[in-house]
Amino acid sequence: MEFIDLFAGLGGFHLALRELGHQCVFACEIDDQLRALYKENFEQEPKGDIREVDIQNEIPEHDILCAGFPCQPFSQANHGKGFDCPKWGDLFDYVIQVLQAKKPSYFILENVAYLKKHDSGKTWQKIRTDLESAGYHVDEESFSPHQFGIPQIRKRMFIVGNRSGSPCFPELPPCVELDIQKILDKEPPEARKLPEYQVKCLEAWQNFLELFPSDVQLPPVPIWSREFGATYPFEDETPYALGVDKLREYQGNYGTPLKDLDDDEVWQNLPTYAKREQNKFPPWKIQYIDRNRKFYEEHKSQINKWIPQILDFPRTYQRFEWNCKGEERNIWKLIIQFRGSGVRVKKPQTAPTLVVRSTQVPIIGWEKRYMTPKECARLQSIEGIKLPQPDSRALNALGNAVNVEIVKRIAQVLTSGSGNYTLREGQLNLFGTKVENHE
């Protein structure tokens, strides 16, 4: 079959469908460097901005339309404006125009999982209605690579359609072994080492973990260290609702008294999330603050001795997420990620979601280094193509890429009309991991 690759990026759709024996007859990609790299990797030069493509005359007839249309308008992390996004919000309309003009038998679209919830579900309902109006039976499902034996947790929404009958998705193996070691190289010389200030930050958090015996449970919420010693109100009203004068009766970050501070200093000594102009905190935030303050009250003698170790780090580094219940409390044996929400530590079986920010690349704790672009490419099932340079560009592109293995499974089932494509008992997946089907 012949397919087209819209918003092509690194060419994940191309890799998946080519492996199934299909041929790409058209591609478009707005980024100049990625467009040149696509030509180098696939011997095919994409068109640029789809807004400037003559759909009727420049796009050939084809059987499958593939598009990972830009996710930023629908991303929860980016507070996306949906179709109102001035930069990307109109791009889905061009997918509809191509479907209406060329009427391919199938389409496969990919976007963030949050798309289904965006604008209380109204965005997804409009997308579905537009696709059905173009003449397609439509279905959607969210998949993560870890469900297919690939050691990355990265849920994405896949939307499929065909012009005759209900489309199908692959069935998942009931039990899949996961091992991040399958995609890692041993101490690769090109890997970026952790800078000293990040090492020191992690050492401070390791010291925090060692304050408590193993039978003391850590809070089941992210640790917001600025709440240690704070007393400003949070359950019935916010600092904003209370006003700066009354706030002086309380204590801010790390128990700092607010009574003798000027107005600006009062606000500077509150956590960022507590200074927003709102009269009531959402329930989840109330719970986080409450759990942190209770934990501090139970262990304040140990915590007060530790607090000076964390004070000189950026505010995001003063938050900590321990997603490793049951693991030895040793950061250096685990997977780490510096995120906008704080320092996150995960079990060593899977990598966290790859994102477009090169500052959030997963860290291999036992080697005190960042994952390399080559390793991140394996998390996206991408092998055998050149990646952008420098590494930051490669990591950005990989964070935007579709997972090749998932697309391949979906395309095989969609075009065969059967939802029964699963790995056989004992069959090895892309990374040599055995799949076990338990009846």
The predicted model scores a pTM of 0.84
Give residue-wise pLDDT tens across range 405-435: 999 999 999 998 654 433 333 333 443 444 3
Residues known to be catalytic:
71
Give residue-wise pLDDT tens across range 285-340: 999 999 999 999 999 999 999 999 999 999 999 999 999 988 999 999 999 999 98
Residues 6 or more apart whose CB falls under 8 angstroms from that of 215 comprise: none
**Residue range(s) of every CATH 3.40.50.150 domain in the chain:** 2-175+383-436
At 81, which amino acid appears? Answer: K
Residue 72's pLDDT is 52
pLDDT exceeds cutoff 60 at 89: no
Give residue-wise pLDDT tens across range 3-41: 999 999 999 999 999 999 999 999 999 999 999 999 999
At 186, which amino acid appears? Answer: K
Check: CB of residue 431 under 8 Å from CB of residue 182.
yes
Task: Give 164: exposed, middle or buried? Use CB within 10 Å, 0-12, 13-18, 19+.
Answer: exposed
Residues 6 or more apart whose CB falls under 8 angstroms from that of 390 comprise: none
- Is the CATH number of domain 2-175+383-436 3.40.50.150? yes
Pairing, β 363-364 against β 335-339: antiparallel
Query: Predicted confidence band at 121 (pLDDT cuts at 50, 70, 90)?
Result: confident
